[in-house]
């Protein structure tokens, strides 16, 4: 059974930084894209960032470009999301997900349970 476990959420002031990790168990993800999605209260879940497990190519939503950085550590089966210059609108539950097509929620095969980020203004 594949598990994705997120860690690193919490409370941060606007302008601050947080770093997430997503640890994947039980398999390698060659051919997969590792993604971060987020869902704010009352809103639909949206794509944040993705990294190709094989190539390392990265993809970002326009709203986070230049502020967030996604990376993977293949040897540790871990994907990280460094979030800088956080804004109140970044407040959401963040989910790690793995799928064959980056950025498309319906293409995700595996999901973590999510971790909450609260941004105080």
Task: Look at residue 26 in the predicted model and tell me its pLDDT.
Answer: 62
Tell me the pLDDT tens digit for each residue of 47-93.
999 999 889 999 999 999 999 999 998 888 899 999 999 999 999 99
CA 112 to chain centre: 10
What share of the chain has pLDDT > 70, as a percent?
98
- Whether 14 shows a pLDDT value over 70: the answer reads yes
- Whether 117 shows a pLDDT value over 70: the answer reads yes
With contact defined as beta carbons under 8 Å apart, do 32 and 8 qualify? no
In three-state secondary structure terms, 58 is strand
Here the tokens at position 56 are 């390392």
Q: Tell me the mean pLDDT in the region 28-37.
A: 89
Task: Look at residue 31 in the predicted model and tell me its pLDDT.
Answer: 85
């Amino acid at each position: 059974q594949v598990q994705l476990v997120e860690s690193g959420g919490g409370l941060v002031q606007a302008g601050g930084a947080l770093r997430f990790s997503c640890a994947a168990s039980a398999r390698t993800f060659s051919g997969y894209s590792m993604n971060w999605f987020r869902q704010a209260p009352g809103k639909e879940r949206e794509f944040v960032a993705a990294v190709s497990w094989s190539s390392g190519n990265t993809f970002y939503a326009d709203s986070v470009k230049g502020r967030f950085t996604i990376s993977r550590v293949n040897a540790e089966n871990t994907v990280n999301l460094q979030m800088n210059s956080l804004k109140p609108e970044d407040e959401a539950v963040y989910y790690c997900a793995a799928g064959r097509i980056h950025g498309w929620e319906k293409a995700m095969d595996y999901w973590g349970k999510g971790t909450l980020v609260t941004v105080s203004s």
